[in-house]
Every structure is written in C-alpha cells, then in structure tokens.
C-alpha cells in the first residue's frame, strides 16, 4: 500500500477546501464593506470614503473571481 499517494489525495482536498473557505471569507468581507459604502453614500453622497470602499470591493471581487476559477478547476 502506497501511503504517500493517499496523503497527496487528501492534500488536494485540503487545498481545495482552503480555497473555498478563502472564497467565502472574501464574499463576507465584500458584503461588510458594501454595507459601509451604502451607509456612507446615503449619509454623505459620493465621498473619498465611498470611493475607497468601492475600490476595496473591486479588489476583493477580483480575488474572489480568481478563487472561484481555481475551485472550479479543482473539481
């Protein structure tokens, strides 16, 4: 019985699970920042804080897209 082959199989599962966890974390993070951005916009309009939040959401969304593609490829 080749144990190293079994460990590599579980390593792939663990790596995929970590990517899914990170993806979900990014989605949650973007949601929290989105909520802040909407609050700033409704209270003050388009301000520097609002633009900063929007940029942060864009960066997080890009990373989440990368992770989604990696997860899809791993399945």
19: enclosing H helix or E strand: helix 3-44
More confident residue, 10 or 30: 30
Confidence of residue 12 (pLDDT cuts 50, 70, 90): confident
Residue 18's Cβ-side half-sphere holds a number of Cα atoms within 13 Å equal to 6
DSSP state of 67: H
Confidence of residue 38 (pLDDT cuts 50, 70, 90): very high
Mean pLDDT, rounded, of the chain: 91
Q: The tokens 């973007």 sit on which residue?
A: 30
Angle at 73 between CA 25 and CA 33, to 5 degrees: 20
Mean pLDDT in residue range 24-40: 98
Contact 59, 30 (CB under 8 A): no
Euclidean distance between CA atoms 48 and 40, whole angstroms: 10
Q: Is the pLDDT of residue 7 over 80?
A: no
């Amino acid at each position: 019985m080749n144990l190293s082959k079994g460990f590599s199989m579980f390593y792939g599962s663990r790596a995929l699970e970590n990517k899914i966890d990170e993806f979900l974390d990014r989605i949650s993070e973007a949601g929290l920042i989105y909520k802040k951005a909407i609050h700033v916009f409704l209270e003050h309009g388009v301000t520097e804080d609002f633009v900063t939040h929007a940029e942060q959401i864009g960066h997080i969304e890009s990373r989440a897209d990368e992770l989604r593609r990696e997860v899809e490829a791993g399945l």
